[in-house]
Amino acid sequence: MNVELSTDFKDKYSELLGDRADKLFEAIESTSENSFRLNPLKPDFRNVSVSLDRPIPYSKIGYYGDIDGNSIDHISGYLYSQEPSAMYVSELLNPTKSDVVLDLCAAPGSKTTYLANIMCSKGLLVSNEINYKRAKVLSSNIERMGITNTIVTNNSPKDMEKTFEGYFDKILVDAPCSGEGMFRKDPESVKYWSQDYVEQCANRQKHILESAYKMLKPGGTLVYSTCTFSPEENEQNIDFFLNSHPDISLQNVEKYPGMENGMPAWGNNNPELTKALRMFPDQFNGEGHFMCKLEKSGTPSEIRVKPINSGVKKEDSKLIDKFSDENLTYTPHTNLLKINDFLFQAASLDNKFKKLHVLRNGLKLGEFKKNRLEPDIAMILAAKPDDLKGIYELDDSEYKKYLHGETVMVADQPSFSNKWIGVSFQGKLFSWGRYSNKQIKNVYPKGLRR
């Protein structure tokens, strides 16, 4: 691996780490370890074509190994590629099925999708990303994983704090950072490193943490993490945050082999910082990370929810019933929300979300067109086989054709006549199809075809 560390970077960490610095530099120049997660929201979720022989000790669903991004396991949302160190962040936050949770800097979605897994897609998870293009990637990853409890927002932390004061039980701040811990994963990023950039990141992180503080309920939990080594972005920022907010305290977290304590000497000699944890690639089988768990004292006050009008009219309800009667074994009827011509099963109908730029609210069911409801790919990715009245299992040849966008010719299937059916491969649902006259018309989204 060709990672050319700058002289300034080496000088900085040689001074901070002493003799150990050379081991860190050597680790950064070595090959990194890949890993992936299973998705327990999927039926028979361990039925995947990759080895599960190397489990990650601090994750019930994480494993070391490589996955194929073109495989049905990945396309259908059974697998998600995630760096091993980063998996522990969501485990630290450990939300429950009833929590109201915010992932404040969420793209591309690795930690959000993990949080949703832990929550069993229950409760409410707000996943925010300030960059619009990255927010779209975040939304697509949530969709692929079949997640239904999540609202994707595209706002600044400052805009969020104005709307959600004291709103969230748990908040994750996986802060944008200088990325030193990911140098060997992304050698190009080394070129952009400078001490000035580190200090810019640290300053931005202070503002993000302040917004998170305002949105956290009394009694709530905040997990802060970065993928950088720098004391300025880690211990020094947390020391500053603790001194600014006497009602915030650091909590002890379990440390697995290879994980190390935070460094008080790097944070104004605050002894509480040993409760934080660090992962250095010379000691831990993963990339460089810092993370800590913080708690806000006090008792939460009740949050009053002012519901918005669903926008679903009588004629819409008739089309929903018609589609359900023909194609589903159930009828969606709770938390329905119509935005323009699109129908969602909303994760929340709280009026507060009208003030934000929302890309996705819960599960996108479909789009109303002339006298019909046309289902969305998100609906099938969240579906269980028992939800559907018709499923067609593709063979290898048919699967390749379908991924290319081709119509698939099949034997006569009278029970499928003029219906929307689930299309699956190796028992994994990944698309809708429209059956008519011995053929399955391809509706797989053009942007996903291969």
User: Is 175 annotated for ligand binding?
Assistant: no
- What does DSSP assign to residue 276? S
CB atoms inside a 10 Å sphere around CB 213: 20
Residue 422 among known ligand-binding residues:
no
109 is in an annotated binding site: yes
What CA–CA distance (Å, rounded) separates 195 from 178?
9
Q: Contact at 8 Å (CB) between 105 and 131?
A: no
111 marked as binding residue: yes
Measured CA to CA, the distance from residue 381 to residue 431 in angstroms comes to: 7
CB burial readout 284-322, b (16+ within 10 A) else e: bbbbbbbbbbbbbeeeeeeeeeeeeebebeeebeebbee
Of 120, 177, 201, 227, which is the active-site residue?
227
201 is catalytic: no
Distance between CA atoms of 282 and 254, rounded to whole angstroms? 20
- The verdict on whether residue 367 carries a ligand-binding annotation is no
Is 107 among the annotated ligand-binding positions? yes
In angstroms, rounded to a whole number, what is the distance separating the alpha carbons of residues 364 and 275? 41
How far apart (Å, rounded) are the C-alpha atoms in residues 317 and 333? 9
51 CB neighbour count, 10 Å cutoff? 10
Q: Is 86 annotated as a binding residue?
A: no
Kindly tell me the burial class for residue 136, based on how many C-beta atoms sit within 10 Å of its own C-beta (0-12, 13-18, 19 or more). Answer: middle
Asked whether residue 257 is marked as a ligand-binding residue, the answer is: no
Is 129 annotated for ligand binding? yes
Residue 289's SS3 state is strand
Which segments are annotated as binding site for S-adenosyl-L-methionine? 105-111, 129, 174
- Active-site positions? 227
Which segments are annotated as binding site? 105-111, 129, 174
